[in-house]
Amino acid sequence: MPITLPNDLPAYDILSNEGVMVMSPGRAAQQDIRPIRIGLLNLMPKKIQTENQFARLIGATPLQIDFQLIRMSDHESRNTAADHMQSFYRRFCEVEATGEKFDGLIITGAPIEHLPFEEVTYWDELTRVFDWTQSHVHSTFGVCWGGMAMAWYFNGLRKHTLNDKAFGCYRHDNLAPSSHYLRGFSDDVLVPVSRWTEVRQSDIDTKPGLKTLIASREVGPCLVEDAAHRALYVFNHFEYDSTTLKDEYDRDVAAGKTIAVPVNYYPDDNPALAPTNRWRSHAHLLYGNWINELYQTTWFDMTRIGEPA
């Protein structure tokens, strides 16, 4: 939550430059409070697992969150019970038709990263979602493949196929400690990674509207800010549970697939030992900071979301 300070107090500028959320008394007096409305466009096969992971993170702030579950209109889930989808999810076409607006939208990853974007069966509708966010969502958070898809659509940022899967927990550098999204972050961060593709910093450097906030020397950019489209792209998985990488590893071993032990995940790299979660606190910080930024910058009158602030 922000701290209210006189804007002529030296600490106001000092803390602001350090990335601390500060607010002048005049702005604080004008604040109205309402629930923050966040949608989850869930593209993952295991819908319940994914919705739990994100709900756990966005529900950890003192603010009231109105959490809405959204699905692609014509893509039927084969891994989640139909009654769950019917009871808790709305098709995007239904959301679009109402004209309703959101403070935030999370677009998840999807296990289709080997496909060219345009060959994804729901690509046309997904690009409609991307365009819709520019007038109906204050800030969009694209995760893993979802972030790569947004970066490609809005910026022409290519995804590149890796020779070997990036799989495990990798150290990342905090490149923008004064960013509002990285308040409280350490200088380096451990982040779970599970992907066969990557976005390269050399490509990001050709796009002046993009800024890399977190990156790894081993697996490249992790968190990228796209201010022009009011979006964040995170290519790795802060939201993962303690055993998510283990579940992926065990699944592939059971299927007889060639799979390396996740890097820096199990104690002593021994899959017989229980993994230790060393990213949970930064996961809560990242999504808590994002929600705090929504609270500070979105319109109280939701009909005005999409207008310049």
Tell me the per-residue pLDDT of 50-79, one tens digit each, with 9 for 90 and over.
Answer: 998 998 998 888 888 888 899 999 867 676
**At residue 51, what is the residue type?**
E
CATH of domain 32-160+197-240+281-304: 3.40.50.880
138 is known as an active-site residue: no
Catalytic residue among 113, 144, 229, 293: 144
Catalytic residue among 113, 237, 282, 293: 237
144 is known as an active-site residue: yes
Tens digits of per-residue pLDDT, 195-210? 999 999 999 999 999 9
What is the structure's pLDDT at 61? 84
pLDDT classification of 253: cutoffs 50, 70, 90: very high
> Six-digit token pair at 217?
């020397």
* Domain regions of the chain by residue span: 1-27, 32-160+197-240+281-304
237 is known as an active-site residue: yes
Environment class of 99 (CB within 10 Å of its CB; exposed 0-12, middle 13-18, buried 19+):
exposed
Main-chain phi, psi angles of 268, to 5 degrees:
60, 20
Tens digits of per-residue pLDDT, 125-167? 999 999 999 999 999 999 999 999 999 999 999 999 999 999 9
Catalytic residue among 51, 198, 239, 293: 239
> What does DSSP assign to residue 121?
T
DSSP per-residue letters across 122-134: THHHHHHHHHHHH
